[in-house]
Structure 1
Amino acid sequence: MRRAMMAAALLGALAGLAADRQVYFGDLHIHTRYSFDAFLFGTRTNPDDAYAFARGAPLRHPSGFEMQLSRPLDFYAVTDHGFYLGMWSAMTDPAHPLHGDPDARTYLDAKTTPERSRAFRTAGQFLTDNFSEADVRGAWAEIVASANRHYTPGELTTFIAYEYTSSYPTDRGNLHRNVVFRGDAAPIMPFSRLDSLNPEDLWAWMDLQRQRGMDAIAIPHNSNGSNGHMFELTQTDGTPMDAAYAARRMRNEPLIENTQIKGTSDTHPFLSPNDEWADFEIMPHRVATLLRSRPQGSYAREAWRNGLVMQERDGVNPYRFGVIGSSDTHNSGEVFDEDRFVSKVGTLDSDPVGRGSVPVNPGEEIPGYREGSNIYFGASGLAAAWADENSRGAVFDAFRRRETYSTTGTWIRLRFFGGYGLSEDMLDAGRIAQAYETGVPMGGDLVRQESAAPGFLAWAAQDPQAAKLQRLQIVKGWVADGRSHERVYDVACSDGLAVNPDTHRCPDNGAVVDISDCSITEGVGASELSTLWHDPYFDPDQRAFYYVRALENPTCRWSTWDAIRAGTTPRGSIAATIQERAFSSPIWYDPAG
């Protein structure tokens, strides 16, 4: 009895601490001049410039104009590519042995789009032939020092980080991860694709660094371009996934980046044919190619479903990950606004023609215009974390426990709890501790409680600088008879509308967009939506996951803004409008307790 009372007191104390958590917004995917490709695209800004931009300072784009955030971010990480890190930048020093080399100058002096495109395609061999560990170490040391210089707890949390840029060796399927360190120390060299293409080797390296006191997580991104390899059903060598593999993967990869400039990786219409909102910012290609990417094995929702099946069948689930968004800008910063979108690859797509959003003059040749990927890019995304304070330790701990969510670029505030005995008034500021004490937040695990059915408490608040909210949804995945299933439920509607109990859908709230000028319907939509929802088909014997998706009223896509400013019509093959959204990390239900 005394032990139970002590446990209850401890839980209550922890819940009280959790009640003070605030949501913090950031970007964990930024490339500067130290990335081999960003340099070739014209980027000359450095990590110091990137962190100043995160605070709200203007940033010079490679094409010469200024960019500036509408409001400062709370956390930020420069994640330059680990391979060939800083080598081009080092060669700009007149004292560098390759500064005057004629072959090097063809890369360093590339200016036009054809020159830069050709440089990008051929740079790998030159950098391999002239690899300099000293240059890489020097750039990495500056990245580490810059992150530590700009770290100001309570104002801007900066993380030491880099990108592990791997790909599947036979088909170029994307296997990229951003490696984010918790503290102020980092290894002397980053582990890159030059060390191994196998992410399992990256995890082994991370485990070793953790033993040395340098904790880190790897955050996969652009699973949509992996051609099915990001969320395989076997280990890399083809052997079945076992408990050790699942533990190693989840220890090192508790999160993925499910939305960014190169598309959103929540789900795909082919995988979710009954989800009317699945066809959203789909990037059809593998990264840096025009090869199509296979949807199966490439999207988060299917991975969560497959994880349930594996857990049911084999007792292991390597896919209990949460989500964040980030940008993947190669310009040292991204503004996230549809009407100010400047894309991601420096001078190559800094104007509407380069982005593919306006017609070109008859007979004019623009590399990759008709079939290129730039038109599929999106003005996304943001990472959000519920943390005890804005510090490295607290925000990183939120990553670890998956109390995170992603947005497609707007500052939507989102909360999600699951548990037994929850009530909607627990969302009130004075009672939020009870939600933590009674249930689990996004990213958490729910266990069976006799024959009771859990409730799910969902809340979203609009970004005051964006459109109002249209609906709040809960996406469920579950296993029955050895197969996974999914269903999307509208759970809260704007404008006093009610969910249809048969279709589980909100009525249309009448929000429309005038494509001629991008004006939107005034007076419709909600500033906040919340509900306590119970699964009408809950089965206590079925494994399941639940996550929240919040949808704004429709607004113009960036490509439509480009077309209007150019005095032309939007491309008919591309959506003229979008519904910005936020995705929570899931809550998993385990019937085994």
Structure 2
Amino acid sequence: MPDLNLYWGELHNHNELGYAQGSLERSYEIARSHLDFYAFTPHGLHADGGVPDGYPVVVANWERIRRAASENNRPGEFTCFPAYEWHSSAWGHLHVLSAEDMESMYCARSLADLQDHFRNRQAILVPHHTAYERGVDWEGFDEALSPVVEIFSEHGSSERDSGLYPMLGHSGGPAGYQYTVQHGLALGKRFGLVAGTDNHDGYPGGYGLGLTGIWAKENSRAALFDALQKRRTTAVTGDRIEVCFRAGEAWMGEVVSGPAERRLDYRVEGWDVIKSVEVVRDNLPVHIEVPDYSAPRTGQPQPYRLRFEWGWGPMKGYQVYDWQGQLRVAGGRLLQIVPCFSSDPFDEVRRKRVLEWDERQCAWQSHTSRGSVFTTRNGSTAPRANDALCVEVEGTQETRIELEFDCRTSKSLLATATDWSLTGKLGGSRASFSIGELLQGRRGWRVDGLPTWIVAHRALPEVLYALQGHFIDRSETPAYYYLRVTQENGQLAWSSPIWFEE
């Protein structure tokens, strides 16, 4: 896409300033370490519940919250949006994102009141986890104030009443189809799609809980907010699947008027084998593309994508494992790295982060625990005992990947005899694989000295993780189209729709 860049970030996340955990400072530090933009959305109030004037912890700390968004905002490097969450039983939950400094939190008593207050301001209202009972008020929906809707979070997917990640395993009661994103689109509402973790561990961008991609001219409040208003967005469940979806000169999120040819062009780049790319028209798939598995492999240098994962642990094991990892490339070069770090297990002090990287090597640290699957505060969509790192390498089948892992234990989430017997133990692993060997399939092994494991997943040539194509629709009736991308590992992406009108 000319003159535009794809930025990844978090628009819906909680910490201890609200009814979650983790400090405000920790949230911003984690967000800066792996995201392009961030909106901390404290639980502000419950309009028709017991706290219409604001949760005391948020009201008391509002100046601190406001100042953190301002001081951490670094144009061109890391963008922060002032924000808060507005709860109601009658109209659903929304989070307010502002492109301006927010001096105070407006405690609206109704959806109409909230909309009237922000109508002439640089702010948008984002409905989220809509597929719960009364999760959204489509009748009162205002697309000028709500140009985007959150389709996925730790609660699951609100796209439809079937498919992967149904909203059946979290805190809200399952609802009928009337509250899904597809139903809102069928009613004629126009909105783009975003995803956010809604994570209550104070971990912005926790892997597998939702993330938003924004196509914008630069990484600044003004540019990102403009792109949100224009619905130029991609929603993903976890993997940062790059989705480009256009109709001629019209981008995802735009409305095409008149007798224009309905040629829809798309380009997708994922981090696992692309299982399918679907063009969805008026909520029904009308075109499906899959990779060409018969494409011949070449010995010439080309990009490959690889995933290295570590974690696991003994049955019901609550031991925390601290990891130091290093990857080196021989006979090739690193083009890109993407951390896939889980928000669990919660720890106020420990940090998961990439420490350094260049074309030849990268280093990182993280901590994992199988016990986090049983103790997580997150939803059932993606409880994880593992962390991972995705890398793109330019090389040949002879290019070698050298891996070093050091692991130690010093803490247990729960005091069990099995876990305490592991405390203070050290372990490690060294491994080397050619890309050709990893093209044959994944390799897994246990860490020396500890009951935890490492997996080098199957290497992917570009023909399996990238797809480009088009669909021509001969229909002339008004319709909307969006892209749904599914990877073999279950990770999903959605583009915002494109509308055609007479």
Work out the CA distance in 2 between the residues paired with 1:281 and 1:132. 32
- Secondary structure (helix, strand or coil) at the match of 1:83 reads strand
Runs of 4+ in structure 1 deviating by more than 3 angstroms, as ranges, are: 131-138, 334-337, 511-525
Once the 2 structures are TM-superposed, how far is the Cα of residue 200 of structure 1 from its aligned partner? 2.1
Percent identity over the alignment is 26
2:85 maps to 1:163: yes
Aligned pair partner of 1:257 in 150, 154, 157: 150
Deviations 1:526-582 (A, max 9, x none): 2311112212xx321x1101111122122xxxxxxxxxxxxxxxxxxxxxxxx1011
2:499 maps to 1:588: yes
Once the 2 structures are TM-superposed, how far is the Cα of residue 27 of structure 1 from its aligned partner? 0.4
Aligned pair partner of 1:280 in 155, 164, 188: 164
* Counterpart for residue 188 of structure 1: 104
* Counterpart for residue 324 of structure 1: 194
- Secondary structure (helix, strand or coil) at the match of 1:189 reads coil
* Counterpart for residue 396 of structure 1: 225
Q: Which has the higher contact order (CA 8 A, sep 6+)?
A: 2
**Contact kept in structure 2, 1:54 and 1:76, CA below 8 Å:** yes
Aligned pair partner of 2:112 in 195, 200, 205: 200
State the AA in 2 paired with 1:526: L
2:39 maps to 1:77: yes
* Counterpart for residue 472 of structure 1: 277
2:261 maps to 1:448: no
> Per the alignment, do residues 201 and 515 of structure 1 end up closer, same or farther by CA in structure 2, a change over 3 Å counting?
farther
> Per the alignment, do residues 133 and 417 of structure 1 end up closer, same or farther by CA in structure 2, a change over 3 Å counting?
closer
Work out the CA distance in 2 between the residues paired with 1:453 and 1:137. 53
Once the 2 structures are TM-superposed, how far is the Cα of residue 383 of structure 1 from its aligned partner? 0.6
Work out the CA distance in 2 between the residues paired with 1:182 and 1:404. 17
Deviations 1:253-294 (A, max 9, x none): 00011011010111122xxxxxxxxx2100126x734x3x22
Work out the CA distance in 2 between the residues paired with 1:29 and 1:133. 17
Once the 2 structures are TM-superposed, how far is the Cα of residue 223 of structure 1 from its aligned partner? 0.6
**Contact kept in structure 1, 2:197 and 2:205, CA below 8 Å:** no
> Per the alignment, do residues 494 and 206 of structure 1 end up closer, same or farther by CA in structure 2, a change over 3 Å counting?
farther
Work out the CA distance in 1 between the residues paired with 2:266 and 2:294. 17
Work out the CA distance in 2 between the residues paired with 1:297 and 1:132. 30
> Per the alignment, do residues 548 and 181 of structure 1 end up closer, same or farther by CA in structure 2, a change over 3 Å counting?
same
2:31 maps to 1:31: no
State the AA in 2 paired with 1:261: E
- Secondary structure (helix, strand or coil) at the match of 2:177 reads coil
Deviations 1:367-418 (A, max 9, x none): xxxxxxxxxxxx2200110001000000000000000010001111111101
> Per the alignment, do residues 513 and 218 of structure 1 end up closer, same or farther by CA in structure 2, a change over 3 Å counting?
farther
Aligned pair partner of 2:470 in 509, 517, 532: 532
2:130 maps to 1:223: yes
State the AA in 1 paired with 2:81: F
- Secondary structure (helix, strand or coil) at the match of 1:52 reads helix
TM-score by length of 2: 0.64
Deviations 1:151-189 (A, max 9, x none): 011111000001011222xxxxx7111100012x21423
**Contact kept in structure 1, 2:46 and 2:86, CA below 8 Å:** no
State the AA in 2 paired with 1:178: H
Work out the CA distance in 1 between the residues paired with 2:126 and 2:218. 22
**Contact kept in structure 2, 1:469 and 1:552, CA below 8 Å:** yes
- Secondary structure (helix, strand or coil) at the match of 2:44 reads coil
**Contact kept in structure 1, 2:192 and 2:231, CA below 8 Å:** yes
* Counterpart for residue 175 of structure 2: 294
**Contact kept in structure 2, 1:470 and 1:494, CA below 8 Å:** no
2:106 maps to 1:154: no
2:483 maps to 1:548: yes
**Contact kept in structure 2, 1:473 and 1:492, CA below 8 Å:** no
State the AA in 2 paired with 1:495: Y
**Contact kept in structure 1, 2:151 and 2:235, CA below 8 Å:** yes
> Per the alignment, do residues 523 and 461 of structure 1 end up closer, same or farther by CA in structure 2, a change over 3 Å counting?
closer
Work out the CA distance in 2 between the residues paired with 1:31 and 1:403. 25
**Contact kept in structure 2, 1:150 and 1:158, CA below 8 Å:** yes
Q: Aligned residues, how many? A: 349
Deviations 1:453-505 (A, max 9, x none): 3211100112xxx323232221111xxxxxxx6334213534258xxxxxxxx
Work out the CA distance in 1 between the residues paired with 2:113 and 2:441. 50
State the AA in 1 paired with 2:285: R
State the AA in 2 paired with 1:486: L
- Secondary structure (helix, strand or coil) at the match of 1:414 reads strand
* Counterpart for residue 457 of structure 1: 265
Work out the CA distance in 2 between the residues paired with 1:418 and 1:515. 44
Deviations 1:30-75 (A, max 9, x none): 111110x21xxxx2411x321111112xxxxxxxxxxxxxxx1000
Work out the CA distance in 2 between the residues paired with 1:266 and 1:55. 29
> Per the alignment, do residues 301 and 512 of structure 1 end up closer, same or farther by CA in structure 2, a change over 3 Å counting?
farther
**Contact kept in structure 2, 1:76 and 1:159, CA below 8 Å:** yes
> Per the alignment, do residues 152 and 523 of structure 1 end up closer, same or farther by CA in structure 2, a change over 3 Å counting?
closer
* Counterpart for residue 288 of structure 2: 490
Work out the CA distance in 1 between the residues paired with 2:44 and 2:111. 14
State the AA in 2 paired with 1:188: S
**Contact kept in structure 2, 1:492 and 1:531, CA below 8 Å:** no
* Counterpart for residue 92 of structure 2: 175
State the AA in 2 paired with 1:441: W
Once the 2 structures are TM-superposed, how far is the Cα of residue 334 of structure 1 from its aligned partner? 4.3
1:55-454 correspondence runs (5 A): 55-56=32-33, 72-83=34-45, 136-168=58-90, 175-183=92-100, 185-191=101-107, 195-196=108-109, 198-207=110-119, 210=120, 214-225=121-132, 227-228=133-134, 230-232=136-138, 234-235=139-140, 249-269=142-162, 279-284=163-168, 288-289=171-172, 291=173, 293-307=174-188, 319-334=189-204, 336-337=206-207, 379-419=208-248, 439-449=249-259, 453-454=261-262
**Contact kept in structure 1, 2:17 and 2:57, CA below 8 Å:** no
Which structure has greater strand proportion?
2
Which structure has greater helix proportion?
1
Once the 2 structures are TM-superposed, how far is the Cα of residue 336 of structure 1 from its aligned partner? 3.4
Once the 2 structures are TM-superposed, how far is the Cα of residue 513 of structure 1 from its aligned partner? 9.6
Once the 2 structures are TM-superposed, how far is the Cα of residue 190 of structure 1 from its aligned partner? 2.9
State the AA in 1 paired with 2:269: A
TM-score by length of 1: 0.54
